[in-house]
Structure 1
Amino acid sequence: MLKHFAPRVLAGAALAVTLAVTGLANAQEHKFKMATAWSGGPLTDIGAQAFADRVKETSGGRIEIEVFPSGTLGPGLKVSETVKNGVADMGHTWVGYDWGADTTAVLFGGYAGSFDSERMLHWLYRAGGAELHAQWRDEQFGLVAMPLFIRTSEVFLHSRKPVRTLEDLQGLKLRTAGAWLDISQSMGAAPVTMPGGDVYPALERGTIDATEWGTLWENLSPGFYRVTKYVIIPGVHQPTAPFELVVNKDSWAKLSEADQKLISDAAFYTTMNSWLTIGQEDAKALEVYRQEGNEIVELDAEVQIAAHNAGIAWAEKQAEGNEWFRKVLDHQKAFADLWKDANRYRNVKTE
């Protein structure tokens, strides 16, 4: 019986090898350029570059993505424009940078009225948020988009001056971006925006008093703590900050359906890994700042509550006359209502 069976096994194996070789031969190779809004640091290392590496690995080297630092292919704050114009095939950016074109951007990128990162991840991946994001980018900007990287609550400020109270905010020259430009100004601050690479020299020269950028761990890389004395927490202006992958439609169309899924899967993996990594590293970073001589300052509860309320008021105002903003805001409100009792059944009091 084995004599009759063996040829069939060999024939089947030969056919499988032939099909595999044919499949590899037919599988397309792609080389893409990725513009980013970063000059380095975690946003590159565990964000854009980690994503590119994952894509190369899971495609067996067929899809290569070359990551370019901010300013190389286009302005750091205009990555979506660089991609739309075809200068880059894809880009890694914070969606909130496009708030000037449509303030709906900040609902996907996080603002003072947002929920935390765990809830944001659930909203994006299990409650339809990512689908809304993709539809909005397609309709309003003509881009393919999906989440790529998310951070926990940011540092409120690395500051040359102590900031605890609402009074301390008055006239404070701070670097920021997105909705916080409007909201912080309404609270008495004097905000400006600039690319990340310009922030350190501005702090060093005293052109600005303070900056927000990323989380405790992420901010070690740009070294703001070297030219400021105070680390102000928590990041009431940015309780969460999802980032995104934007892809030129023509470049996306070159990919097979299977390769499009491979890209999406790699973006999901990178996003979840960034959240887990940042959460762990943030826990270690406070001690580093203390060892470097920084003073850790916690904002008064009054400021935290005022910032959140100001964010909510700002969002309601933006929703007036902006159908997309209203649609996304109402969707997030419904999600928040569904989760309203989560702290009661998920968190155990220990003190």
Structure 2
Amino acid sequence: MSIFWKKRSVFTAGLAVFALVLISATGSFAGKSGKIIWKSSGHGPASDPSQIFHDKLCKAITKATGGRLTVKPFVGGSIVPAYKEVDAIDQGVLQMAYSCPMYNLDKWPAAGLISSRPGGLPGEALRTWFDYGGGADLLNKMMEGYNVMTFPGALAPLPEEVFFHSKVKLESLADLKGLKARCMGDGGEILKRMGAATVIIPGGQLYEAMQRGTIDAFEYSTLASNWKMHFNEVAKYVYLSPTRAPSDPQVIFVNKEAWAKLPDDLKKIVQSVVAEYTQKQHEYLVFESVKAVDKFRAAGNEVYKVPRDIEVALSAEADKFYAEKSKSEKPIFAEIYNSMKEFGEAYNAIK
């Protein structure tokens, strides 16, 4: 048995035990009145707008269904460790979660493609590809064998991520060498290949990690989200560029068995409310990010575009990375990559 499967077995056993504790505490996932009760988790701290929208979404579903489906919201890390939300769905500890696909690279290497990654699709194109270009179907195909699914409308593309909040001024490609930086997903792997010393740290721990000097720079989310998390207080420089992450997609995942048990009318209500809120969050963060630039500057931060030589080198390294992965990984990797690439080329042709 591989080390991965040993680790997964241990984690699975732990979640299964936890699930039994939850079930015994509540009686079942269906209340005594016959109403259905779901548990859903975000992936971020309470101050993260994505977590806030997740919590509002859960309440909106409960209201829209007249309480027939009650979705109880939980903050990231409060039910299971941060970034393990999809594993918890697979084991039935959660019935729903709002998370980034790239947090599941340990299971699905192709998950990094539908994430904030170099060469990805910008927000409008990404949501269109996901809803109408077969993206949701491909994500479900990638997750075959797990008790997890998604559906069109469940992806919030979100605007481009901040390239870096940094204590170090970046003036050329050479400044990436040895830079201690928090970078997630494929972007983190690509920057590591370029010489950065990348680490994985949950979003809720970034402020403290910068204060302590554990890292010198980090990527996390949009200007709007990062302003609300007070990152202006721990990093002087803000670097902007769509090269590393032209969008910051997050997806609603649900437990297959729990979904199958929902009456058809409740499924339609859930899908409708989810689609409304994922789009609302995207538009809200685009608007707030425009305003946040001035807020960072007023707070004393220096806001710059990423040096051109870094952008060029990153794009070139990303092309090499994905060419290698398309050959070495399971066919689903190349299938998703090529689907996104072809749609992106068609999308750009009409711009």
Q: TM-score, normalised by structure 2?
A: 0.86
Q: Distance in 2 between matches of 1:325 and 1:228?
A: 36
**Matched residue, 1:262:** 269
Verify the 8 A CA contact 1:33 1:67 in the aligned structure 2.
yes
Q: Distance in 2 between matches of 1:131 and 1:28?
A: 32
CA distance in 2, matches of 1:58, 1:136: 31
Does 2:80 align with 1:56?
no
Radius of gyration: which is bigger?
A: 1
Given that 2:91 and 2:147 are in contact with CA atoms closer than 8 Å, whether structure 1 keeps it comes out as: no
User: Is this contact kept in 2: 1:92–1:148, CA < 8 A?
Assistant: no
Structure 1 match to 2:332:
324
SS in 2 for 1:293: coil
Q: Which amino acid aligns with 1:152?
A: P
Aligned letter for 2:148?
Answer: L
Partner of 2:72: 66
Shift of residue 204, structure 1, vs aligned partner: 0.4
Of 203, 215, 240, the match for 1:208: 215
2:37 & 2:99 partners in 1: Cα distance? Answer: 20
Q: Is the 8 A contact 1:152 1:240 kept in 2?
A: yes
Letter in 1 for 2:124: E
1:144 to 123, 144, 149: 149
> Distance between the aligned counterparts of 1:34 and 1:204, measured in 2?
31
Q: Verify: 1:180 aligned to 2:187, yes or no.
A: yes
Measured against aligned partners, the alpha-carbon deviations of 1:274-302 in whole angstroms (never above 9, x if no partner) come to 11111111110011101110001211222
Alpha-carbon offset, residue 325 of structure 1:
0.3
Q: Paired residue for 2:344, among 306, 331, 336?
A: 336
1:306 CA drift (Å):
2.0
Q: Percent identity?
A: 27
Partner amino acid, structure 2, of 1:331: S
Which sits farther off after the overlay, 119-128 or 210-219? Answer: 119-128
Which runs of structure 1 show a deviation greater than 6 angstroms over 4 or more consecutive aligned residues? none
Task: Assess if the C-alpha contact under 8 Å between 2:112 and 2:185 holds in 1.
Answer: yes
Give CA-to-partner distance per residue, 1:63-87, whole Å, 9 cap, x none.
Answer: 2211111221101111111111111
**Residue type of the alignment partner of 1:313:** K
8 A Cα contact 1:156 1:232, kept in partner: yes
Across the aligned residues of Structure 1 and Structure 2, the Cα RMSD in angstroms comes to: 1.6
Q: Distance in 1 between matches of 2:34 and 2:320?
A: 50
SS of the equivalent of 2:120 reads coil
Q: Secondary structure in 1 aligned to 2:239?
A: strand
SS of equivalent to 2:175: helix
Number of the residue aligned with 1:18: none
Q: Report how many residues are paired.
A: 315
Q: 1:249 to 1:209 in 2, by over 3 A?
A: same
Q: Which amino acid aligns with 2:38?
A: F
Q: How far apart are 1:180 and its partner, in Å?
A: 1.6
Q: For 1:120-199, what aligned pairs fall within 5 Å after superposition?
A: 120-137=126-143, 139-146=144-151, 147-199=154-206
Query: TM-score when scaled to structure 1?
Result: 0.86
Asked whether 1:95 is paired with 2:109, we answer no
Q: Is the 8 A contact 2:147 2:257 kept in 1?
A: no
Taking structure 1 as reference, are residues 213 and 235 closer, same or farther at Cα in structure 2, changes over 3 Å only? farther
Q: How far off its partner does 1:237 sit?
A: 1.7
The alignment partner of 1:156 has SS state of: strand
Aligned CA distance change for structure 1 residues 233 and 140 (closer, same or farther; 3 Å):
farther
Q: Which amino acid aligns with 1:310?
A: E
1:116 to 100, 122, 132: 122
| Distance (Å, rounded) in 1 between the aligned partners of 2:128 and 2:157 | 12
Cα distance in 2, alignment partners of residues 119 and 160 from structure 1:
33
Q: Which runs of 5+ in 1 are unaligned?
A: 1-26, 344-351
Shift of 1:28: 6.0
